[in-house]
């Protein structure tokens, strides 16, 4: 049931509770009266502008840029008889959340509006004032005192422990939760699934949000599987909820995280997800040009941006660090190790990419929001933003000579499509669907997701990897009005990859088939399909090293086992080694996500953050390149979590990234949102601890991207 209170009831209830809510009934009455007087007054332009910022970052994904919502899913705020009839009603809804059926402008909505507990009283007042004065609404203002009074009452109101209306639930999680996702937080009809348990609307929406945040990346929005196994009811019902609970709780060495024992999900949430997976998955709405343009904003026009770098940062050694669960990125100076700025972004930024010039930083969140950050500004800031779907992972910019900084491209998981945008403003120019036939079975697939995108240095092309169909698309952007695409049949399920040391050959993992596909970006053809000899290769962008015996090689580790595989990449100097696994050896164990090296380094680093054993997920294996001459080279284990001195939780060590000089390696110590995380910096020459960066604002740091290395495809 909703905990919203109409103004009259609100006043009466508070007067009855007296000092339990605020200082006294008289003081409370005076405060509410003051709020009512303020509401009648004309709001300031500053308050409306501040409210627009809050609305854009947290509310627009659901209620849309025009305030009209989405029929059947998100209610309208423009012309809403539910809200405008009692403008004060919005305070209770934002503070407390709202659950259950409501009728708005004659249409029924039955979903969950989460409590926006991460917002300050002032932000709530500003956002609601913006809503009351936008899209032809009748006006008015909300006073911060009114919000504070509602918050005080909410703190004294018991909440039902058995009614999971939202996720996350801990104080720290609520403080840092990002914007609601159309995939994960929308109210929707629950499909009747024979053999499945019943779920309330609240439980269904809570589970859907968890699935979006934690599971969809591997198992798919429609749960048809890719890196992770399919989770459709025809398979899950036979397993049963008890089996699923164990699997969700403890994970597996094959790369399934231990969501329960790591503390990421509570016991109740594990049980909730085990039941949710027995139901038919809901399908989120489509997202086309009209929807994109409603979200597109140029915050600082091109002619208002600086003509030269205004700050004193050495940009080549700047790091963009993903703060996964706070919906932010931290810009950290690699020289001083100080946080330069923390910027709000979409939920769970997946990657950061640099424009060819090194001026613009592009980030994309799992909620498909793209932020374009100008590093030349006195304080680096977002200058443009857009949302390109409901879920996404990839972004890239044009790098071919003559097209530097001209275009950006982003690929979505849902809807399955990619969009080419103007490189200076993010204006969407061309949307292309990836739905189609699986390359080998010739079966239609409704959800072929864009897994990764890379820009060619040899042709005006983007390399777009389509996960489920097993196709690699070479998208010629020289004339986007007459887009030419070369479709290459490769293998399933395509995931991450990177360039060899010459930047000519692109290697991408097809992790369902244990292969790596090799594309000659100069000729535009498939060069080879290489069996890696391990389970579920997951290279990230891979690592390029010069092997003491086999010459230049590209390295991948695996999600499903301990194997590290080295593939020869020098068809001219070492033709007998090219496009073959020339060496395979073991590292820490399954659950590896990233390998890393640098042209100036003598080492190869291999992580294992998804391994269910804390000792393994908290460490990194380091191989000396010269020792790879031995068939089974030994490695040094660096106790990164121990060096971080975290204390509570089960932190994971993930994604090493070098500084521009190649003499430091940065690792994320990724803990639960309500616990301490850190960045640990290792001296690459000595393999000793060099520095630890800790700050309360470093919430769940994951990916790190050095400007110089990212711009120049060095890994």
Helical H segments across 549-594, by residue range? none
Q: What is the 3-state secondary structure (H, E, C) of 173-222?
A: HHHHCCCCCCCCCCCCCCCCCCCCCCCCHHHHHHHHHHHHHHCHHHHCCC
Q: Are 523 and 540 in contact (CB under 8 A)?
A: no
Strand partners, 520: 505, 525
The dihedral sign for the CA sequence 88, 94, 97, 100: positive
Q: 94: closest CA among 41, 150, 134?
A: 150
What crossing angle do the helices spanning 89-96 and 144-156 adopt, rounded to 10°? 50
Q: In the annotation, is 256 catalytic?
A: yes
Q: Given 116, 256, 273, 372, which residue is catalytic?
A: 256
Q: In the annotation, is 59 catalytic?
A: no
d(CA 361, CA 340): 14
Q: How many Cβ atoms sit within 10 Å of the Cβ of residue 274?
A: 23
Provide CB contacts within 8 A for 710, sequence distance 6+: 320, 352, 353, 354
d(CA 556, CA 541): 9
Q: 565: closest CA among 546, 586, 550?
A: 586
Which tokens sit at 33? Answer: 């009266």
With tokens 């509310």, the residue in question is: 59
Q: Are 363 and 352 in contact (CB under 8 A)?
A: yes
Which tokens sit at 704? Answer: 């790190």
Phi then psi for residue 485, to 5 deg, are -130, 130
Taking CA atoms, 287 is separated from 103, 156, 221, 282, 417, in Å, by 25, 41, 14, 16, 9
Q: Given 218, 273, 372, 421, which residue is catalytic?
A: 218
For the chain, the farthest-separated pair of C-alpha atoms sits apart, in whole angstroms, at: 88
d(CA 92, CA 98): 9
Q: In the annotation, is 495 catalytic?
A: yes
d(CA 644, CA 638): 11
Q: In the annotation, is 603 catalytic?
A: no
Q: Are 675 and 648 in contact (CB under 8 A)?
A: yes
Across 359-397, b (16+ Cβ under 10 Å) vs e yields bbbbbbbbbbbbbbbbbbbeebbbbbbbbbbbbbbbbbb
Which tokens sit at 35? Answer: 């709020």
Q: In the annotation, is 215 catalytic?
A: yes
d(CA 696, CA 691): 17
Provide CB contacts within 8 A for 553, sequence distance 6+: 544, 545, 546, 547, 566, 567, 568, 569, 577, 582, 583
Q: Are 640 and 619 in contact (CB under 8 A)?
A: yes
Strand partners, 667: 680
Q: Taking the CA of residue 349 as centre, how many other CA atoms within 13 Å lie in the half-sphere pointing to its CB? A: 32
Q: Given 495, 547, 550, 603, which residue is catalytic?
A: 495
Q: Given 60, 215, 354, 421, which residue is catalytic?
A: 215
Calculate the CA 63 to chain-centre distance.
21
Residues known to be catalytic? 215, 218-219, 256, 495, 538
């Amino acid at each position: 049931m909703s905990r919203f209170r109409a103004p009259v009831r609100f006043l009466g209830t508070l007067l009855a509770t007296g000092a339990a809510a605020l200082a006294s009934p008289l003081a409370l009455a005076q405060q509410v009266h003051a709020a009512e007087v303020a509401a009648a007054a004309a709001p300031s332009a500053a308050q409306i502008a501040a409210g627009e910022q809050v609305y854009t970052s947290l509310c627009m994904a659901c209620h849309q840029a025009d305030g009209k919502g989405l029929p059947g899913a998100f209610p309208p705020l423009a012309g809403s008889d539910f809200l405008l009839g009692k403008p004060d009603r919005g305070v209770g809804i934002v503070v407390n959340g709202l659950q259950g059926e409501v009728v708005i402008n004659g249409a029924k909505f039955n979903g969950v509006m989460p409590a926006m507990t991460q917002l300050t009283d002032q932000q709530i007042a500003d956002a609601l004032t913006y809503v009351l004065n936008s899209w032809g609404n009748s006006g008015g203002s909300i006073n911060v005192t009114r919000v504070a009074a509602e918050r005080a009452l909410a703190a004294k109101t018991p909440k039902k422990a058995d009614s999971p209306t939202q996720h996350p639930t801990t104080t720290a999680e609520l403080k840092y939760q990002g914007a609601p996702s159309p995939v994960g937080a929308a109210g929707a009809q629950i499909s009747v699934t024979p053999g499945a348990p019943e779920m309330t609307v609240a439980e269904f929406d809570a589970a859907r949000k968890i699935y979006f945040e934690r599971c969809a990346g591997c198992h798919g929005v429609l749960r048809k599987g890719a890196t992770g196994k399919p989770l459709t009811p025809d398979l899950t019902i036979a397993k049963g909820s008890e089996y699923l609970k164990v699997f969700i709780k403890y994970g597996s060495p094959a790369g399934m995280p231990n969501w329960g024992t790591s503390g990421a999900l509570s016991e109740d949430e594990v049980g909730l997800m085990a039941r949710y997976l027995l139901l038919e998955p809901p399908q989120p709405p489509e997202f086309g040009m009209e929807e994109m343009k409603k979200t597109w904003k140029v915050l600082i026009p091109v002619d208002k941006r600086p003509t030269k770098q205004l700050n004193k940062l050495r940009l080549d050694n700047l790091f963009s660090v993903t703060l996964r669960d706070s919906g932010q990125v931290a810009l950290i100076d690699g020289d001083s190790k100080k946080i330069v700025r923390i910027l709000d972004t979409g939920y769970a930024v997946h990657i950061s990419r640099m424009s060819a010039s090194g001026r613009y930083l592009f980030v994309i969140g799992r909620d498909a929001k793209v932020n374009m950050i100008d590093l030349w500004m006195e304080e680096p800031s977002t200058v443009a933003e857009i949302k390109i779907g409901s879920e996404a992972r990839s972004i890239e910019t044009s790098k071919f000579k003559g097209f530097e900084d001209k275009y950006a491209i982003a690929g979505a998981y849902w809807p399955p499509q990619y969009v080419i945008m103007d490189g200076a403003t993010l204006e969407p120019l061309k949307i292309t669907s990836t739905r189609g036939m699986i390359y080998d079975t010739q079966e239609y697939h409704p959800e072929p997701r864009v897994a990764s995108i890379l820009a060619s240095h040899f042709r005006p092309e983007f390399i777009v990897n389509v996960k489920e169909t097993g196709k690699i698309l070479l998208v010629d952007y020289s004339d986007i009005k007459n887009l030419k695409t070369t479709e290459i049949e490769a293998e399933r399920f395509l995931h991450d990859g990177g360039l060899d040391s010459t930047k000519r050959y692109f290697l991408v993992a097809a992790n369902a088939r244990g292969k790596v596909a090799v594309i000659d970006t100069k000729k535009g053809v498939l060069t080879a399909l290489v069996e890696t000899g391990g389970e579920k290769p997951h290279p990230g962008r891979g690592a390029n090293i010069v092997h003491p015996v086999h010459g230049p090689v590209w390295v991948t580790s695996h999600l499903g086992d301990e194997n590290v595989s080295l593939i020869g990449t020098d068809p001219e100097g070492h033709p007998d080694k090219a496009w073959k696994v020339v060496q395979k050896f073991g590292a820490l164990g399954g659950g590896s996500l990233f390998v890393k090296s640098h042209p100036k380094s003598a080492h190869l680093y291999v992580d294992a953050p998804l391994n269910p054993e804390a000792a393994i997920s908290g460490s990194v294996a380091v191989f000396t390149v010269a020792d790879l001459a031995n068939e089974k080279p030994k490695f040094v284990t660096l106790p990164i979590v121990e060096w971080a001195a975290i204390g509570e939780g089960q932190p994971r060590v993930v994604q090493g990234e070098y500084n521009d000089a190649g003499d430091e390696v940065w690792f994320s110590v990724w803990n639960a949102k309500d616990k301490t995380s850190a960045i640990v910096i290792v001296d690459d020459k000595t393999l000793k601890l060099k520095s630890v960066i800790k700050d309360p604002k470093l919430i769940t740091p994951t990916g790190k991207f050095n400007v110089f290395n990212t711009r120049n495809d060095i890994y």
